[in-house]
Amino acid sequence: MDFSTIHGVVMDMDGVIWRGDDVLPGAVALFDLLKQRGLPFAAATNNSAKSPADYVAKLARMGIHGIREDQILTSGRVTVAYLQAHYPPGTPVYVIGGDGLRQMIARAGFELSDAARVVVVGIDFDLTYNKLKRATQLIRGGADFIGTNGDKTFPMVDGLVPGAGSIIAAVQTATGRAPLMMGKPNSPMFTAALELLGTDAAHTLMIGDRLDTDIDGAKAAGLQTALVLTGVTTRAELDASPGQPDGVYDGLPELLEEFG
């Protein structure tokens, strides 16, 4: 890759910056390099369970300081922006998701309600059958259906676990309705990232660990792409894929060697 053409960087977090609560090698050095070079960057994640403030705090605990909330782009944040653009304040919204997502939606002026006009589904580590049941009833009754992201799995220290996409699939199966998706690989996430950075797609790099979301979505949006093999995608899956990233690295240290 020709890193001299890069004017801005978007990076995934789970599987790139950390795995679970463990910071991955090269993460601190990557942020330091971007700051030293004055390159705008955004940390973008499909995980909607936490708010940007939560992620700023988590990065700080890992030794990555000075990150602003507006540099954190979650599928939850993109979802809230969509709600604000398409629904009036006070619209009742039913949420399957973490406290971070619920708080963001409430702070944006929407009413969290079991009798809602809109159903938003994201990752929920406290998922119950009753939550799925209520979401199904509302959507079957005419409520709009929005999914934060379609990740089937979520990387944890002890392996891959069901992601938001798995929960959304359950609701979709029960309702026969496909959701409007916000996160990667869908365009709303990448449009928001480019607007945040103020860069054009051709000179913006996406660093990710998933072919099906980070890389495929970024390539469709016109960004340059770098895959690190520290998250979901394995070398065997990469070799079997018809779509290939612009660069492939075992981890961030190897990417930094070329970037630096």
Residue 180: strand pairing partners: 146
Residue in 238, 243, 256, 177 with CA at minimum distance from that of residue 11: 256
Output helix, strand, coil percentages for the chain, rounded to the nearest 5.
40, 20, 35
What's the CA angle centered on 186, arms 210 and 93, to 5 degrees? Answer: 115
Tell me the catalytic residues.
Answer: 12, 14
As a whole number of angstroms, the distance between CA 178 and CA 256 comes to: 40
Q: Do residues 190 and 218 make contact, with C-beta atoms less than 8 angstroms apart?
A: yes
93-107 CB burial, b ≥16 within 10 A, e <16: bbbbbbebbbbbbee
- DSSP H or E run through 224: strand 224-228
